[in-house]
Amino acid sequence: MRGAKHIVIVGGGITGLTTTYYLQEAIKQKQLPYKVTLIEATDKLGGKIETYRKKGFTIERGPDSFLIRKEAGARLVQHVGLEEQLVKNDTGKAFVLVGNQLNEMPNGAFMGIPTQLSPFLKSNMFSFAGKLRMLGDFFLPKKEPKADQSVGEFFRYHLGDELLENLIEPLLSGIYAGNIDKLSLMATFPQFYNMEQSHRSLIKGARQTIGDRWKQTTKKTSKFYSLKHGLQSLVEQIEKHFDPSIVQVMSSTKVKQIEKEETNYHLLLDNGEVQAAHSLALTTSVSQAKCMFNQFDFWDDFGEIKATSVANIAMAFDRGAIPQDIDGTGFVVSRNSDYRITACTWTHKKWPETTPENKALLRCYVGRPGDEEVVQLSDEEIASIAINDLKKIMGITDQPEFYVVTRWEKAMPQYEVGHLQRLDQLSRAMAEQLPGVFVAGNSYKGIGIPDCISQGEQAMEDILRYLQC
Ligand SMILES: Cc1cc2nc3c(=O)[nH]c(=O)nc-3n(C[C@H](O)[C@H](O)[C@H](O)COP(=O)(O)OP(=O)(O)OC[C@H]3O[C@@H](n4cnc5c(N)ncnc54)[C@H](O)[C@@H]3O)c2cc1C
């Protein structure tokens, strides 16, 4: 048996938790002489995942769900024995606010791409010219292959500005809170590029991809999972599984600097301690990773990954306070509408288990490129913005019973055009100059929870492979 090895995971968000948990399982199973330390700067684990429970409401301050389609999420939930708590979203209608009008999302919208024409042609969301331009997708010449381009450039070419601004942009903003004209297509939706390259027309490609489902107008299926008592229960459950003989958790401890030594790394902590590690995973934002290794120039070549600040406000009401109780799960706001909120989830309808009977829970989002200063406003000011907007849109005049504002500063990393090429350069530089150090998390290969979990799984495999060489 080789000598004992120490692995350090920096960052206790879902990526770091996943890496630590799966490492522990592998160490147990293969009886490896390894110890793991998970170091988290704040006093709680979970990072962006945070559930607030009050008066029978389950309020998510960060993510509220994860995609079913990406299996790493449910796999982790099952591993830690929480599968019985998985719940799926209710699939009511979704709306888009264009101008002052809530419009039902046209049937057959596949991330905003029309797979059925008639609901789009009948929709009031688009002008006659906008509809004609959308149909232009069938006749456009094939585009030459391209290493990368912005999401905006790609969709504007195929479907026109109006469809992009009224539908696709608000839908994608809900995920990336970014500038669609800078966002990298290949780092976010490479499948759309592949559709274009194989079918020329994006509409035809989308139809082909989803198969015969585009012909059906029947009930939608749930696409998201959450957990009965909130996503934080996953964090709590992982924590419960940590075996202190293998895993040590150091919370309220920040890694300030990391020095490369001959055969290992020395991590300088903000409590003055130094930890030695044979291998490590950095699961923080890239800007934090840069700070820890600021003596290495290659981080500068990777460039600055910008991150947008966002905030959200969850508001609890009596059901009776909502005069126009629309049959649906929420709405997104189109770029050209004169509102400051960017979206609103009718949480009591989308996730009924979060809300006591006869109550309503609405969650509004603010903050987007060009309006990030809203995040700096006081709780009262953010509440007043949301309540005023909801009054105009849904006729709500009552004040909420209570509200909870959450700010996430520089929290949504922006994968700008060329992201994947830069990532590739970074990986090569790290393998050369920092062997045994791996990066994972939402700055790199996907921001959704399952993407972060997959990256955590990968980091665990990379570390084991490195140590066993
Ligand atoms: C408001 C909001 C809503 C979202 N909604 C969804 C959704 O519905 N579905 C979905 O799939 N995704 C959603 N996301 C995205 C998803 O939540 C995140 O991408 C994911 O949780 C990030 O996990 P992570 O572990 O990579 O990073 P983080 O959660 O950011 O964790 C990184 C951790 O590193 C710690 N850290 C930083 N620096 C140091 C240091 N020097 N030393 C030690 N520790 C350090 C931080 O304190 C933090 O705990 C949402 C994000 C936000 C902000």
pLDDT at 203 over 90: yes
Residue 183 phi/psi, 5-degree rounding, is -65, 135
- Percentages helix, strand, coil for the chain (3-state, rounded to 5) are 40, 25, 35
| Fold for the domain defined by 65-92+309-413 | Polyamine Oxidase; Chain A, domain 2 (3.90.660)
Atom of ligand 1 nearest to the CA of 15: 25
Q: Report the range of poorest mean pLDDT among 124-128, 175-179, 408-412.
A: 175-179
**Residue whose entry in the numeric block shows the structure tokens 């596949």:** 110
Considering only CA atoms, which residue is closest to atom 22 of ligand 1? 442
pLDDT at 148 over 90: yes
| CB of residue 445 inside a 6 A radius of ligand 1 | no
Q: What is the pLDDT of residues 323-359, one digit of tens each?
A: 877 788 999 999 878 899 999 999 999 999 999 999 9
Considering only CA atoms, which residue is closest to atom 52 of ligand 1? 62
CATH level 2 (architecture), domain 5-45+235-305+415-468: 3-Layer(bba) Sandwich (3.50)
pLDDT at 2 over 60: no
| CB of residue 40 inside a 6 A radius of ligand 1 | yes
What is the pLDDT at residue 1?
A: 43
Q: What is the pLDDT of residues 228-245, one digit of tens each?
A: 999 999 999 999 999 999
Q: In the predicted model, what is the mean pLDDT of residues 172-196? A: 92
Q: In the predicted model, what is the mean pLDDT of residues 286-296? A: 93
How is 346-411 classified by DSSP, letter by letter?
Answer: EHHHHSGGGS-TTEEEEEEEE--TT--GGGGS-HHHHHHHHHHHHHHHH---SPPSEEEEEEEEEE
CA of 62 to the centre of ligand 1 (A): 8
Q: At what angle do helices 14-30 and 232-241 cross, to 10 degrees?
A: 30
Q: Report the range of poorest mean pLDDT among 53-67, 109-123, 201-215, 342-356.
A: 201-215
What is the pLDDT at residue 302?
A: 75
Tell me the percentage of the chain whose pLDDT exceeds 70: 97
Domain boundaries, the chain: 5-45+235-305+415-468, 65-92+309-413, 108-214
Rounded to whole angstroms, the Cα distance separating 210 from 370 reads 35
| CB of residue 449 inside a 6 A radius of ligand 1 | yes
Give kind and range of the element (H or E) at residue 78: helix 72-79
Rounded to whole angstroms, the Cα distance separating 264 from 266 reads 7
Same fold, 5-45+235-305+415-468 and 65-92+309-413: no
| Fold for the domain defined by 108-214 | protoporphyrinogen ix oxidase, domain 3 (1.10.3110)
| CB of residue 63 inside a 6 A radius of ligand 1 | yes
Rounded to whole angstroms, the Cα distance separating 195 from 201 reads 8
| CB of residue 284 inside a 6 A radius of ligand 1 | yes
| CB of residue 389 inside a 6 A radius of ligand 1 | no
How is 190-205 classified by DSSP, letter by letter?
Answer: HHHHHHHHHHSSHHHH
**Residue whose entry in the numeric block shows the structure tokens 């790493």:** 72
With H, G, I as helix, E, B as strand and everything else as coil, classify residue 450.
Answer: helix
| CB of residue 366 inside a 6 A radius of ligand 1 | no
With H, G, I as helix, E, B as strand and everything else as coil, classify residue 272.
Answer: coil
Across 156-282, the runs of DSSP E, i.e. the strands, are: 224-227, 247-250, 255-260, 265-269, 274-277, 279-282
Atom of ligand 1 nearest to the CA of 441: 26
| CB of residue 42 inside a 6 A radius of ligand 1 | yes
Q: What is the pLDDT of residues 91-147, one digit of tens each?
A: 888 999 998 889 999 998 988 999 999 999 999 999 999 999 999 999 999 889 999
Q: Taking all residues of the chain, what is their mean pLDDT, rounded to a whole number?
A: 93
CA of 443 to the centre of ligand 1 (A): 9
